């Protein structure tokens, strides 16, 4: 959801600053091609603190829809992190079962190899 701010007064020079933040005015900062996870996190935290999305969009030269995508992904990550259990009994049982299966597979391979060595046909004329 977007928070709409009521702007009742225009500060002198605000329009020029807004234009320069978007990169449309000469001398504006170059647009960032790739955003690190940390930089995105800082922007999303500002959004979650209640700063207007349109102001942040102009300041960082990122479209509003992209900022909203970042916020939604961050909230989904928070939800997933909160649902995670520190100790999951099902996970522990699965780990134990996987370990036991590995042991049994190794044991079967050793027994198979031993059987092949014991009952393999011996070549004539060759001493063992």
Domain co-membership, 44 together with 102: no
pLDDT in the model for residue 117: 85
Identify the DSSP state of 12.
T
pLDDT in the model for residue 93: 93
pLDDT in the model for residue 124: 59
**Cα distance between residue 62 and residue 39, in whole Å:** 12
Domain co-membership, 63 together with 100: no
Domain co-membership, 70 together with 115: no
Sequential pLDDT tens for the chain (128 residues): 555 544 444 444 444 444 444 444 443 445 667 889 999 999 999 999 999 999 999 999 999 999 999 999 999 998 888 877 777 788 889 999 999 999 999 999 999 999 888 887 766 555 55
Q: In this structure, are residues 53 and 68 in contact, taking their beta carbons and an 8 Å threshold?
A: yes
Domain that holds residue 97: 87-119
Domain co-membership, 73 together with 101: no
C-alpha distance across the termini of the chain, in Å: 82
CA 124 to chain centre: 64
What's the pTM value of the predicted model, to 2 decimals?
Answer: 0.44
């Amino acid at each position: 959801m977007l928070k709409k701010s009521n702007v009742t007064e225009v500060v002198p020079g605000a329009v020029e600053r807004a234009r320069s933040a978007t990169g449309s005015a000469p001398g504006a900062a170059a647009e960032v091609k790739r955003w690190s996870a940390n930089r995105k996190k800082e922007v999303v935290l500002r959004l979650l603190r209640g700063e207007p999305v349109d102001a942040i969009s102009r300041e960082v030269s990122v479209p509003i829809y992209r900022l909203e995508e970042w916020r939604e992904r961050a909230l989904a990550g928070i939800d997933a992190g909160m649902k995670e259990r520190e100790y999951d009994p099902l996970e522990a049982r699965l780990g134990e079962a996987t370990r036991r299966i590995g042991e049994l597979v190794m044991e079967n391979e050793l027994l198979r190899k031993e059987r092949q060595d014991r009952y393999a046909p011996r070549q004539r004329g060759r001493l063992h």
